[in-house]
Amino acid sequence: MRRQRNAKIIATLGPASSSKEAIQALFEAGADVFRFNFSHGSHEDHKKRYDTVREVEQIVGRPIAILADLQGPKLRIGPFADGKIMLTAGSEFTLDRDTAPGTPQRVCLPHPELFEVIAPGHSLLLDDGKLRLEVLASDGKSIRTRVVTGGPLSDRKGVNVPDAILPIPVLTEKDRRDLEFALSLGVECVALSFVQRPEDLIEAREIIGDRANLMTKLEKPQAMDCIDEIVRLSDSVMVARGDLGVEMPPERVPGAQKRILRACRLHGKPSIVATQMLESMIVSPTPTRAEASDVASAIYDGADAVMLSAESASGAYPVQAVSMMDRIIREVEKDPLYRNLIDAQHEGPLPNRGDAICAALRSVSQIIGATATVTYTTSGHTSLRAARERPTAPIVSITPRLSTARRLAFVWGVHSTVSPDIHSVDEMVEAACKTAVREGFAKPGDQIAITAGMPFAQPGTTNLLRIAEISA
């Protein structure tokens, strides 16, 4: 099944989309990757969904990727004696280490590590940013604040600290259990929350090894100060605009999104834009015009993929939401302005053989009017570098590894196929031509551009470029 677009769609599975019929309908509507949200559901739930996705994969005959999204640390206040209080702007309110139930004057903050980094002038955001407190003083045992934005506050609401790097491990005990379980299933990618610094990726990378790709969710403003290094150390990056928009002023989020996408393009790492993309479709069969424009803007900016959350997991119209996203992407990619913008954002090749060959692949395919660019890859690296170039012709990726084919489901423009190893250039050209025809990318008389590495089947050896004509 060939997609008539380059950007990919990630759909979250949940109560509204866990049956085989629902998952197959989502794939046929346009979903390329399915996200498992480990903030919700049991391991048994996720195992059932995993098995169902693999069953659907067999039915549709296309590689499907699965993303395990870890919950990450959740900072929360303690409970109140009466379950709820009202904070009034201008009043003082204290967060302390006393585990007694809260009152209108104070509440427990059961995260002792925060007391060491909070300083006067910092802001504390409660309940997804609905309430804002300004820190007046902190002595290591209590944090005295003034209420800037008041409102109702109930038990165990979340706390965000936008002005400090928090000394908190990125992986909680729950995350470690979930990570090992997800890896035992065989997921293609793991998304890591709460990343503030490049060092935050070390533990997860050591645990994961080469069993899956590591996706960094950029949701902390502090991460923007070292964005290039974080992107370089990640396999892919998600712009998690929900949490990012809580800790960062809303007017700064669009600029941050563009910076992240640009850094991903520079380093050749897939970028995903997420959160509230078609939010109204949770309850409505059609999106708002602003939501359609939001999805379109992410595509114009060069995102590799866009993601649906509650729209497909628990909404009333999951298939319609995927179909709408598919239609928006295809409409944008038909616009001549889209190609102009993609070319204007083009980054020059990095000084290595793979980038040099893939830059030539882009030029050659455009000059000869190739109907497809064919990449032979074992690890997926060649196809990733080809996608970084954003060629005008679709990228047909051929790999002997099903795991590689699945991982490439995140990547712009890549149509991935699985085929046995090749052993000669002639065999490579013949297989490339047959695959391009079989998958619907070429017909007799068309020309294709092919890249591979020699010796064959050795990762990281991209060094060969060929042009071939499809014979009758």
Task: Please measure the distance between the N-terminal and C-terminal CA atoms of the chain and give it in whole angstroms.
Answer: 23
- Residue located via tokens 């679709």: 394
Of 3, 47, 48, 76, which is the active-site residue? 76
C-alpha distance from residue 134 to each of 105, 392, 417 (Å): 15, 51, 55
Catalytic residue list contains 176:
no
Residue 82 makes CB contacts below 8 A (sequence gap 6+) with none
Of 275, 371, 373, 382, which is the active-site residue? 275
Of 5, 106, 157, 217, which is the active-site residue? 217
Catalytic residue list contains 362:
no
Q: Exposure pattern of 107-129 as b/e (b: 16+ CB <10 Å)?
A: bbbebeebbeebeeebbbbbbeb
Taking the C-alpha atoms of residue 296 and residue 222, their distance in angstroms, rounded to an integer, is 27
Coil, helix or strand at residue 138: strand
Burial class of 188 by CB neighbour count within 10 A (0 to 12, 13 to 18, 19+): buried
Of 5, 8, 35, 241, which is the active-site residue? 35
Taking the C-alpha atoms of residue 124 and residue 286, their distance in angstroms, rounded to an integer, is 36
**β-pair type (395-399, 372-376):** parallel
Catalytic residue list contains 407:
no
Catalytic residue list contains 217:
yes
Taking the C-alpha atoms of residue 63 and residue 52, their distance in angstroms, rounded to an integer, is 14
Residue 321: both structure tokens together: 């939401």
Taking the C-alpha atoms of residue 272 and residue 255, their distance in angstroms, rounded to an integer, is 15
Active site residues: 35, 76, 217, 275
